[in-house]
Amino acid sequence: MEVTVNAENEEVWGGGNKPLNASYGKLMMWFFIVSDALTFTGFLVSYGFSRFKNINSWPIADEVFTHFPFLHGIDAPMYYVALMTFVLIFSSVTMVLAVDAGHHMQKSKVTFYMLLTIIGGAIFVGSQAWEWKNFIKGEYGALETRGGQILQFVDTTTGKRAAIQEFAIGVETDRATHQPSNGIWYQSETALPTVALAEVKKGFIEDENLVVRTQLLDENGQKTVLSRSESLAKVNEAVAVVEGANLVHNEYGNRLFADFFFFITGFHGFHVLSGVVINIIIFFNVILGTYEKRGHYEMVEKVGLYWHFVDLVWVFVFTFFYLV
Amino acid sequence: MALCRFSLGICFHLFLSRINHKTFKMAAEGHKLAIFRGLLKFKSNQQKIWGVLIFLSIVTTIEVALGIIKPESLMVSFLRMKILNWIFIILTIVKAYYIAWDFMHIRDERSGLKNSIVLPLLILIPYLAFILLIEADYIFEVMDSGFVSWNF
């Protein structure tokens, strides 16, 4: 039971010797952050891999993310994500102010800044949910060929995109959503698109002004628009209607784009969500005076490190998904 | 015996937490208050935080403005990527530097800790990006030169 202490090594092993001048908890948080940074690196680099592999047919982010709350139908690329970035940077600032107030043992200030941080995080997660909703819902719709290529439509009179729901012409069909109760019981399908393939094809053939826009990018970085005769041939090859995006189909273009979007922003959003939850726990601990009794607010500093890291990752996600 | 171990544990714990407390207090006071290599000095840590916020906001605004305007002069390819995209990536790294250095207090840490956090990332991330992007570019060339049809 006796602890033997070697007099010569007392300086090194006797405790109190801190080569990095950081506590155990802080070091472990840094361990986690470094490994998590490498995880995000893996995701973002594999996104880059897929993008460079399909460099001449990748969707243009400015055309995908064009929504802004209360501005319906107005083309507002990037403004919303820019706003989200500012919200997250600002909540990072309130977090670092909370840490600073903790250093001076000012309990009420720590409480106030923690609350602002939580609100900022909640706004960010909500914004991301809204962004996902728009992305999943889609805007113009598209056709998909057997090879998985996406055919979008352009109105040559205006030069703008045409929505399939608008030019499709009703065709009598008895195709209904398959239910396990009235068909093969072990098979089911999600809701059918609002318009059927035959309706889109008919609408396209009847409107002489419509042409097809393919996924391929021309030398100016714009999507290739086919001539009317080429378009008719392409539309005949189409096998399915795509509205919005999910993990299998994507009306915006390459389906990998949607997969990576869901995966990377989802993983980041989950980090923000867990950050908010941890912040709330710390917030209540601050109110209860746990850290006041403990004599220091290092816990706020540790959760702050995590929160800043989430902000740091968003800076990169923002660049590689929306800007580049 | 068990009681003895328990009380020893308590003593040890108290001892450790006292040291923790002491070093934490010390670290709290030793903020470095200059940014831009000493060009801009702040009077207090709080002022520095607001200063860094203003800087980060300016950089983000520049990024968004460039992303919306997309100046023709910056759409020229340089090292297989548009100059505009290089600017975006460099500005992102600048932002990441200030978030890590000032918000995460890396600036105030000992060099040993600083290096053991930054160096692995600085070595591994460019390495991974380099090999994967080169490989992807090669696959693109293979597919582009006719081995895979655009549609079938």
A77–chain B Cβ distance below 8 A for any pair: yes
For residue A150, the SS3 value is: strand
Domain interval for residue B131: 110-147
**Do B118 and B101 share a structural domain?**
no
- Counted domains in chain A: 2
Residue B94 domain-assigned (yes or no):
yes
B129 vs A contacts (CB less than 8 Å): 41, 45, 48
A38–chain B Cβ distance below 8 A for any pair: yes
Nearest neighbour of B109 by CB, restricted to A22, A52, A90: A22
Residue of A nearest to B143 (CA): A53
Tokens, residue A56:
């001449």
Nearest CA-CA partner of A113 in A126, A128, A103: A103
A106–chain B Cβ distance below 8 A for any pair: no
CA distance B131 to chain A (A): 10
A32 vs B contacts (CB less than 8 Å): none
Nearest neighbour of A34 by CB, restricted to B121, B128, B143: B121
**Do B62 and B118 share a structural domain?**
no
A16 vs B contacts (CB less than 8 Å): 19
Q: What is the pLDDT along chain B (152 residues), one digit of tens a residue?
A: 444 454 444 444 444 444 444 444 444 457 888 888 778 888 888 899 999 999 999 999 999 999 988 888 888 888 888 899 999 999 999 999 999 999 999 999 999 999 999 999 999 999 999 999 999 999 998 888 866 665 54
CA distance B113 to chain A (A): 6
The percentage of chain A sitting over the pLDDT mark of 70, rounded to a whole number, equals: 94
A260 vs B contacts (CB less than 8 Å): none
**Do A225 and A302 share a structural domain?**
no
Residue B6 domain-assigned (yes or no):
no
**Most B CBs within 10 Å, among A23, A112, A144, A239, to test the B interface:** A23
- Report the distance separating Cα A231 and Cα A210, nearest Å: 8
Indicate if the pLDDT at residue A6 is higher than 50: no
For residue A241, the SS3 value is: strand
| Residue B59 near residue B91 (C-beta atoms within 8 A) | yes
**Do B117 and B98 share a structural domain?**
no
Residue A23 domain-assigned (yes or no):
no
**Do B103 and B51 share a structural domain?**
yes
- Largest Cα separation within chain A, whole Å, is 95
Residue B7 domain-assigned (yes or no):
no
**Do B58 and B86 share a structural domain?**
yes
* Structure ipTM: 0.86
pTM here?
Answer: 0.85
Domain interval for residue A221: 142-174+189-243
Residue A89 domain-assigned (yes or no):
yes
A41–chain B Cβ distance below 8 A for any pair: yes
**Do A315 and A286 share a structural domain?**
yes
For residue A205, the SS3 value is: helix
pLDDT digit string, tens, across residues A121-150: 999 999 999 999 999 999 899 999 988 889
For tokens 């600002």, name the residue: A90
Residue A299 domain-assigned (yes or no):
yes
Residue A154 domain-assigned (yes or no):
yes
Residue A98's pLDDT is what?
Answer: 96
Residue B85 domain-assigned (yes or no):
yes
Residue B92 domain-assigned (yes or no):
yes
- Counted domains in chain B: 2
Assign residue A83 the CATH number of its domain: 1.20.120.80
**Do A295 and A211 share a structural domain?**
no
Torsional sign, CA B82, B88, B91, B96: negative
Residue A251 domain-assigned (yes or no):
no
- Tally Cβ neighbours within 10 Å of residue A157: 11
**Do A74 and A54 share a structural domain?**
yes
Residue of A nearest to B91 (CA): A319
Residue B33 domain-assigned (yes or no):
no
**Do B89 and B63 share a structural domain?**
yes
Residues 156-215 of A with CB under 8 A from B: none
**Do B104 and B48 share a structural domain?**
yes
**Do A286 and A203 share a structural domain?**
no
**Do A96 and A64 share a structural domain?**
yes
- Report the distance separating Cα A74 and Cα A313, nearest Å: 29
* A46 vs B77: which has the higher pLDDT: A46
Query: What is the mean pLDDT of the segment spanning A42-71?
Result: 90
Residue A19 domain-assigned (yes or no):
no
Contacts of A258 (CB under 8 A, 6+ apart): A135, A245, A246, A247, A250, A252
The percentage of chain A sitting over the pLDDT mark of 90, rounded to a whole number, equals: 66
**Do B54 and B102 share a structural domain?**
yes
**Do A200 and A59 share a structural domain?**
no
Tokens, residue B142:
């293979």
**Do B116 and B103 share a structural domain?**
no
**Do A239 and A150 share a structural domain?**
yes
Residue A112 domain-assigned (yes or no):
yes
Residue A2's pLDDT is what?
Answer: 46
Residue B69 domain-assigned (yes or no):
yes
Nearest neighbour of B117 by CB, restricted to A30, A56, A308: A30
- Across the interface, do A315 and B99 touch by the CB < 8 Å criterion? yes
Average pLDDT of chain A, as a whole number: 89
B39–chain A Cβ distance below 8 A for any pair: no
Residue of B nearest to A92 (CA): B103
Across A178-182, A242-246, A286-290, B49-53, least confident range: A178-182
**Do B100 and B45 share a structural domain?**
yes
Residue A122 domain-assigned (yes or no):
yes
Contacts of B10 (CB under 8 A, 6+ apart): none
**Do A268 and A129 share a structural domain?**
yes
**Do B120 and B91 share a structural domain?**
no
Residue B25 domain-assigned (yes or no):
no
A221 vs B contacts (CB less than 8 Å): 75
Quickly count helices (H) and strands (E) in chain A.
12, 5
**Do A151 and A133 share a structural domain?**
no
- Across the interface, do A311 and B103 touch by the CB < 8 Å criterion? yes
Indicate if the pLDDT at residue A169 is higher than 90: no
Query: What is the mean pLDDT of the segment spanning A305-321?
Result: 95
B128 vs A contacts (CB less than 8 Å): 41-42, 45
Residue B23's pLDDT is what?
Answer: 45
B1 vs A contacts (CB less than 8 Å): 1
**Do A263 and A231 share a structural domain?**
no
**Do A275 and A126 share a structural domain?**
yes
B92–chain A Cβ distance below 8 A for any pair: yes
Q: Across the strands, what pairs with B77? A: B82
Tokens, residue A12:
């090194």
pLDDT digit string, tens, across residues A253-295: 999 999 999 999 999 999 999 999 999 999 999 999 999 999 9
For residue A88, the SS3 value is: helix
Q: To which H or E segment does residue A47 belong?
A: helix A24-53
